[in-house]
A and B are shown apart, each in its own frame.
Chain A
Amino acid sequence: MRRFSWFNVTSLTFGFAFLYLPMVLLVIYSFNASKLVTVWAGFSTRWYGELLRDEQFMDAAWVTIRVALFSSTLATVLGTLAAVVMIRAGRFPGRTLFSGMIYAPLVMPEVITGLSLLLLFIGIGLDRGIFTVVLAHTTFAMCYVSVVVSSRLATFDTALEEAALDLGCSPFEAFRLVTLPIIAPAVISGWLLAFTLSLDDLVIASFTTGPSATTLPIQIFSSIRLGVSPQINALSSLLIGVVAIGVIAASLATKRRAVTQAREEQAAARVTG
């Protein structure tokens, strides 16, 4: 049945060209010596140099990394807890409200999340800065983490935990020694997701930050509002490069793990067979 089909090849080629061409162009033009997009004035790394010397961008990058590290770690802890509650705690009063509060932020427009958190911070008189952005990012990222982790927990065999309890583990030890290692891949991808969501967020950070803490997306947004900027091309290329290397490395690692696992299983089959 599998036939070579021109239609499929064409749609894949055009589809991936559409997805990747804009980013490829961005990277190419980041090495353009000229400020203008249409004029190619030769290869240059001038904009990268200017970017690295620009203190505003470097400060913003540092703020963003700190916010992302704190909020994604906090979100992973809270999101995993929330997932355990959703899947394991059974019935408790207010369960419907709880699951509603987990899913609602996923579909809530960012402008509304940002606005409501800002109004809360003003209402309780909290000074806006890195701390408030961390609180805001933790709140929406923990919902994503909890969705990722709870889908893994739902397929988890509770007999393993019960065996640990029978063998004398306390519930906490059973969770730490049995459950956590098994759901670890989901927890790690939840953390990565929370980290990138935080790195990426413009709208919620704009609402909840103060003048002391400008994040990278806010800085980028204010400099591209008026048009294309070669420094931003350089910055974008760096970010694209980091993501590409990270994702490719991660997928190679999973592939290698799959290969070793398959090999071990084969070896085991030979021994037992």
Chain B
Amino acid sequence: MRRFALIAVPYLWLLALFLVPFLIVLKISLSDIALSIPPYAPTLDLSAGWEGVRSFFAGLDFENFVFLTQDDLYWKAYLSSVWIAAVSTVITLLVGYPIAYGMARAAPEWRPTLLMLVILPFWTSFLIRVYSWMGILANEGFLNMVLGWFGIPPLQILATNTAVYIGIVYTYLPFMILPIYATLERMDESLLEAAEDLGCSRLTAFWLVTFPLSRGGVIAGCFLVFIPAIGEFVIPSLLGGSDTLMIGKVLWEEFFSNRDWPVASAVAIVLLLILIVPIVLFQRNEQKQREAA
């Protein structure tokens, strides 16, 4: 009995505040927009009994999903979200790998401090970290001031996709560094000595030994950046321009500006369907890592 209560409390909480809301989104995505409160139809009328349930299901259709395929805006936004997330992930890897490598090869007494310095930004507000780039990249900002000292004409970076890339790389960098550092730190360095004894140059030894051994961390880091970056809202709306298309922003505007709840719900469902593939791949990689450890 006590065991039942123990399971029931968190179970019911998650059912009521995670699963049920999600089913509501699914239901509204199949509804039609209506000029009423709430602004969609049909609503389930249980007092009408079986007839009410039947007319409820009869009123559901895939119209909103068809609409998503017909309007250019949506599939372009999905494609551009995936593209922006992918490009940022590659840049984050190129920036993050050398840092993780340097940390793993630093003297052992330095490593806890370096680790803390990487984690510290996590505890600082995400919004503030994004905001800090607004002052740097603005037309009258810090970067253009420094460029001005060298006689370089000012660059327009804020309100472009470049600023979005910078924002994603900056805020998600710790997610890339930490898993790579974890695999590199575990690595047995005598393997490298062996490779060099056998005539490898340091660079070849890196490509043939170090990099393959860190692959699990690289894959984990890439997914940890790629998955949340696709649905990002704050970065494109603060650093991006009006032509920066990302699906998180589209969903937000569909809901708050256009008040089209059924289409916003359909956008959310399709976004989830897109995310399922990388999430499953990520889980599989984690499983493999655990088995290897």
Residues of A within 8 A of B (CB): 1-2, 5, 7-9, 11-12, 15-16, 18-20, 22-23, 25-26, 29, 36-38, 78-79, 81-82, 84-85, 89, 92, 94, 97-98, 101-102, 104-105, 107-112, 115-117, 119-120, 122-123, 135-136, 138-139, 142, 146, 171, 196, 199-200, 202-203, 207, 217, 220-221, 224-225, 227-228, 232-233, 236, 239-240, 243-244, 246-247, 251
Query: Are B105 and A5 touching (Cβ within 8 A)?
Result: yes
Closest to B26 in A: A116
**Most chain A C-beta atoms within 10 Å of own C-beta, residue among B112, B123, B134:** B123
A107 to chain B, nearest CB (A): 5
Select A98's contact among B14, B24, B96, B107, beta carbons within 8 Å.
B14
Evaluate contact between B136 and A25: CB separation under 8 angstroms.
Answer: yes
Are the C-beta atoms of B125 and A227 separated by less than 8 Å? no
From known contacts A25-B135, A251-B116, infer whether A116 and B22 are also in contact, taking CB-CB under 8 Å: yes
A85 to B234 CA separation, bound complex (whole angstroms) = 35
B240 at the interface (CB under 8 A from A): no
Return chain A residues, CB-CB under 8 Å to B271: 109, 111-112
Asked if residues A120 and B24 are in contact (CB atoms below 8 Å), the reply is yes
The answer to whether B127 touches A12 (Cβ under 8 A) is: no
Q: B1-35, CB under 8 A of A: which get 1 and which 0?
A: 01100110111011101111110110010000000
User: In the assembly, what is the distance between CA of A210 and CA of B13, in Å?
Assistant: 22
Q: Find out whether the CB atom of A116 lies under 8 angstroms from the CB atom of B21.
A: yes
What B residues does A138 contact at CB under 8 A?
13, 17
**A37→B3 CA distance, assembly (Å):** 60
B192: interface (CB < 8 Å) = yes
Contacts A37-B141, A243-B120 given; does A15 touch B102 at CB 8 Å? yes
- Total A-B Cβ pairs within 8 A: 221
A97 CA / B15 CA spacing, docked (Å): 9
**Residues of chain A contacted by B183 (CB below 8 angstroms):** none
Determine which of B13, B135, B173, B251 lies in contact with A115 in the assembled complex, contact meaning CB atoms within 8 Å. Answer: B251
Which 7 residue pairs of A and B lie closest in terms of their CB atoms, listed nearest first?
Answer: A109-B231, A15-B99, A11-B98, A116-B21, A22-B132, A82-B10, A8-B102
B279 at interface (Cβ–Cβ under 8 A)? yes
Give the interface segment out of B48-56, B65-73, B211-219, B260-268. B260-268
Q: Is the CB of A200 within 8 A of B135?
A: no
- The distance from the CB of B146 to the nearest CB of chain A, in whole angstroms, is 10
Majority secondary structure of chain B interface residues (helix, strand, loop or mixed): helix
Complex Cα distance, B230 from A131, in Å, reads: 30
A85-B10, A240-B124 are known contacts. Are A135 and B17 too (CB-CB below 8 A)? yes
Query: Are B132 and A85 in contact, with the CB atoms below 8 A?
Result: no
Which B residues touch A29, using CB under 8 A?
A: 135
A105: chain B residues within 8 A (beta carbon): 18
**A interface SS class:** helix
In the complex, whether B170 has a CB less than 8 A from a CB of chain A is yes
Q: How far is the CB of B31 from chain A (nearest CB, A)?
A: 11
Contact B231 A18 (CB under 8 A): no
Total B residues in contact with A, Cβ cutoff 8 Å:
85
User: Which residues from chain B contact A117 at a C-beta distance below 8 Å?
Assistant: 17, 21
Q: Across the interface, which residues of B come within 8 angstroms of A23, CB to CB?
A: 121, 124, 128-129, 132
* A8, B106: Cβ atoms closer than 8 Å: yes
Q: Is the CB of B98 within 8 A of A200?
A: no
Question: Which residues of chain B come closer than 8 Å to A171, judged between CB atoms?
Answer: 2
Q: Contact at A109–B125, with CB atoms within 8 Å?
A: no
Q: Report which of A5, A104, A199, A233 forms a contact with B18, defined as CB distance below 8 A.
A: A104
Complex partner residue of B13 from A19, A142, A200, CB under 8 angstroms? A142
Whether, in the assembled complex, B103 has its beta carbon less than 8 Å from a beta carbon of chain A, the answer is yes
A37 engages B279 (CB within 8 Å): no
Contact A220 B127 (CB under 8 A): yes
List residues 142-190 of chain B with CB under 8 A from any CB of chain A: 142, 144-145, 170, 173, 189-190
Are the CB atoms of A12 and B268 closer together than 8 Å? no
In Å, the complex CA distance between A116 and B123 comes to 27
Q: How far is the CA of A240 from the CA of B189 in the complex (A)?
A: 38
**A217 with B125, Cβ < 8 A, contacts A107-B279, A111-B268 known:** yes
> Which chain B positions have C-beta within 8 A of A18?
95, 170, 173
In the complex, are the beta carbons of A11 and B145 less than 8 A apart? no
For A94, list chain B residues within 8 Å (CB): 11
Q: Is B131 an interface residue (CB 8 A)?
A: yes
Partner of B265, one of A110, A119, A207, A227: A119
Residues of B within 8 Å of A244, CB to CB, are 120
Q: Is the CB of A225 within 8 A of B127?
A: no
